[in-house]
Structure 1
Amino acid sequence: MTDTLPTRRRSRFWLYAPFVLLVVLAAAWSGFWFHVHGRVVAEIDKALAREVSQGRTWTCADRSVGGFPFRIEVRCTSLTLTSTRWGEAVKVTSGPAVVVGQIYSPGLVILEATSPARATLTEGRTLDVTWKQLDASLAWRQPERFALVAAEPNLTLTTPGIGAENWRASALELHLRRNPTRPATDQAVDFAVSAKGTVLPLIDALLGTPDAGTVDLEGTLTQSEAFRKGFNPDALESWRNANGTLDLGRIAATKGPARIGGSGQLLLEPTHQVGGDLQLAAAGIEQIGGIRVGNLLGGLGGLLGGRPPAAAAAPGLTPLPPVSLRGGRVFLGPLRLPLKPLLPLY
């Protein structure tokens, strides 16, 4: 008689273990996401309260916070900023906006805003802004960085008694980065601005041509901590008192056949007007501020002290006399250009 050994029952642990592990991980991730969600909402409320204490009120209409499982999205059907830091109330209202942060990249946020926007400024002025697409990103890990890209931006400033002035471009890019090499006391921020297809009334009047152009600027803003207060009279006055400067390391612009290159430095004068000096070189310019120059650029530069700027030694450019901004007026060497005076910023 043969004994039959009982069959050993095979464990099904490894059959179900992956699914159990997946459920546990999903539950843990969900808990983590909702924890981050709560922290974000609390930080937003704190930041909004802090802004109110500094004279700025932000209103996010129909605010919602979502983005599960990998993002945190803050959505507003409209976004409004009201500031009392200009003496009169300044109000800026935009269309729908969304701010996105990735759970796996907590040091970076991305903003997408829908056109249009309107700013109600002091002295009854209004600024209307439209664009086809606008995206911005902010990284606050060292070095801090900010970038903005806009397609077909269009700005119209309307001033009572004067009328409307329009600025537009086919594309605009702005990049900011805290300079990691300069002394901390400089509070230096590097910037780069690029605009294509630009139409700028001031430049049109200066060069006497409505042709669209391109503008590229690179440089460094010093004493930038003043602007943590925002962009308002207090911040501008703090920047001026700290001897802040806008150092333009590279200026490159084209407008029709005209080309300009150079460098310079801008600052705020005690009258609160923009002042400074620019060293420029140019080609293809027939007039400057209504003064016919034609082929006289080289002679003017030599006669009035023009010298080739180091950053603008592009082939074919002729040095211009120094361009100076003093007391709201623009001077080409010793000659004052017949342009409207620059208004005080505050």
Structure 2
Amino acid sequence: MTDPLPTRRQSRFWLYGPTLLLVILAAAWSAFWFYARGRAATEIDAAMAREAERGRSWTCADRTIGGYPFRIELRCNALALTSTRWGDAIRVETGPAVAVGQVYSPGLVIFELTGPAKVTLPEGRSLALTWTNLDASLAWRDPERFALVASDVTAVQTTPGLNPETWSSKTLEAHLRRNPARPATDQAVDIAVTAKGTVLPPIDTLLGNTDTGEIALQATLTQAEAFRKGFNPDALESWRGANGAFELTRLVSTKGKARVDGGGQLQLDPMRRVSGDLRLAAAGIEQIGGIRIGNLLGGLGGLLGGRGPDPAATPGLTPLPPVSLREGRVFIGPFRLPLQPLPPLY
């Protein structure tokens, strides 16, 4: 009688192998995430140091970096910025702030900011800002782009000796994108801004109309590299010296019965004031600067060769005489509007 063959022990690799492989992958991913977190912390510290050298000091209260396993999430219980680039210090203080980047999409960061915010301005002025939601995103892969969406935005400006002034918008969207079609020497950035349910006291005073309004703007800013280091007098002077221009492709503004549609180009003159020419068409405007005009502008437009936007694109609007900003004054055709002179921006 022969002995039976020994029973071959079955391998348990397929029982434990997948689990072991999963543990190894999880450990490797965790190591990668903590490495990425450390790099993010280093880059944030370096960026804040560069900002301080440029006269902008950022403070992130109770900073934490988390988001494991798939995000890098920077949180601040409060965010503050102090800038000395305008001479007297300007300070901006907000509530909690969050910046989120996906590990698998390092070229995109999403921001969420909680109000209210307070801005302390020179000469004892201040600005109080509130909103319901404010989200933004920044992408630095070609083309570079930035987007901001906010709702129920209110700004109250306080100036010593004057009554507070309140600006507001029910919804606000802003989009910026480096223009890939323009020559690199133009340093062109496309801008699109939409605001609905707006209350703008200076426009109320100018038009004698207190209805809420809507604004849609499309423009291109040339020589935009001047603003890469911030929006301050040095940047504005660099932009002016490079013959930078704000090319207003189209502006559509409605306010009750009043509507304005047009475009043009704006720059800074040697005295650092806004200057340029606008081509506008309008309807429903009864007064400008307290002067009753009725149908006067339409008549002047025909008399002085007013050239507004394409009539086919703006039905019901009357082309106005050319609007010019020269030497700090605003002109419609040859007539100067009775407005305060435009001050230098810096």
The TM-score range, normalised by the shorter chain, is over 0.9
Residue of structure 2 in register with 1:299 after alignment: 299
Larger mean CA deviation between 90-99 and 297-306 belongs to: 297-306
Contact preservation (8 Å) 1:280, 1:312: no
* CA deviation profile, 1:77-99 (whole Å, cap 9, x unmatched): 11111111111111111111011
Instruction: Give ranges in structure 2 of 5+ residues lacking alignment.
Output: none
Mapped partners of 1:270, 1:312: distance in 2: 38
Taking the TM superposition and a 5 Å limit, the aligned residue runs for 1:120-139 are 120-139=120-139
Between the aligned partners of 2:130 and 2:150, the Cα distance in structure 1 is: 10
- Aligned partners of 1:341, 1:186: CA distance in 2, in Å? 31
CA RMSD in angstroms, aligned pairs only: 1.4
Residues 167-182 of structure 1 correspond to what in structure 2 (within 5 A)?
167-182=167-182
Deviation at 1:325, TM superposition (A): 1.5
Native 8 Å contact 2:59 2:79 kept in 1? yes
Give the Cα separation in 2 of the matches to 1:50 and 1:240. 24
The AA in structure 1 aligned to 2:5 is L
Residue 111 of structure 1 corresponds to 111
Output the CA distance in 2 between the equivalents of 1:125 and 1:218.
Answer: 31
Provide the residue aligned with 1:343 in structure 2: 343
1:201 equivalent in structure 2: 201
Secondary structure in 2 matching 1:279: strand
1:66–1:73 contact (8 Å) kept in structure 2? yes
User: For residues 2 and 311 of structure 1, what CA distance do their matches in structure 2 show?
Assistant: 107
Letter matched to residue 260 of structure 2: I
On the 8 A contact 1:262/1:312 being kept in 2, the answer is no
- 2:266 is the alignment partner of 1:266: yes
- CA change 1:311–1:171 in 2 (3 A) is farther
Q: What is the match of residue 28 of structure 1?
A: 28
Question: What is the CA–CA distance in structure 1 between the aligned matches of 2:117 and 2:174, rounded to whole Å?
Answer: 18
Contact residue 250 and residue 311 of structure 1 kept, 8 A: no
User: What CA distance in whole angstroms lies between the structure 1 residues aligned with 2:63 and 2:248?
Assistant: 40
Alignment correspondent of 1:18: 18
TM-score in terms of structure 2 length: 0.97
Residue 339 of structure 1, CA deviation: 2.4
Contact 2:311/2:317 (<8 A) preserved: no
- Segments of 5+ residues of structure 1 without an aligned counterpart are none
Give the structure 2 partner of residue 278 of structure 1. 278
* Aligned-partner residue type, residue 204 of structure 2: D
Matches within 5 A, 1:13-162: 13-162=13-162
CA distance in 1, matches of 2:333, 2:289: 13
Distance 2:78 2:8 in 1: 68
When normalised by structure 1's length, the TM-score is: 0.97
Question: Residue deviations 1:159-190, cap 9 Å, x none?
Answer: 22333222110000000000001111111000
- Per-residue deviation, 1:27: 0.2
Letter in 2 for 1:153: V
Question: How far has the Cα of 1:2 moved from its partner?
Answer: 5.1
Deviates more, 1:289-298 or 1:185-194: 289-298
1:246 aligned onto 2:269? no
Structure 1 contact 251–312 (Cα < 8 Å) conserved: no
* In 2: Cα distance, 1:142 partner to 1:133 partner: 28
CA pair 278-312 structure 1, distance change in 2 beyond 3 A: farther
CA contact under 8 A between 1:306 and 1:319: conserved in structure 2?
A: yes
Q: 2 CA distance for matches of 1:166 and 1:275?
A: 27
Counterpart-to-counterpart distance in 2, 1:52 and 1:207: 43
Distance 1:311 1:173, change over 3 A: farther
Which aligned runs of 4 or more in structure 1 are off by greater than 3 angstroms? 310-313
Question: For the Cα contact (< 8 Å) 1:321–1:332, is it kept in 2?
Answer: yes
Matches within 5 A, 1:302-321: 302-310=302-310, 313-321=313-321
What secondary structure does 2:101 align onto? strand
1:5 paired residue number? 5
Of stretches 23-32 and 88-97 in structure 1, the one that deviates more from structure 2 is 88-97
Paired AA for residue 195 in structure 1 = A
Aligned-pair CA distance for 1:35: 0.2
Secondary structure (helix, strand or coil) at the match of 2:141 reads coil
The Cα shift of 1:263 comes to: 0.5
Look up the SS of the partner of 1:251 in the other structure.
strand
The CA distance in 2 between the partners of 1:338 and 1:204, in whole Å, is 16
- Report the number of matched residues: 346
Counterpart of 2:54 in structure 1: which amino acid? Q
**Partner of 1:308: helix, strand, or coil?**
coil
Q: Distance in 2 between matches of 1:308 and 1:245?
A: 20
Alpha-carbon distance between aligned partners in 2 of 1:103 and 1:234, rounded to the nearest angstrom: 36
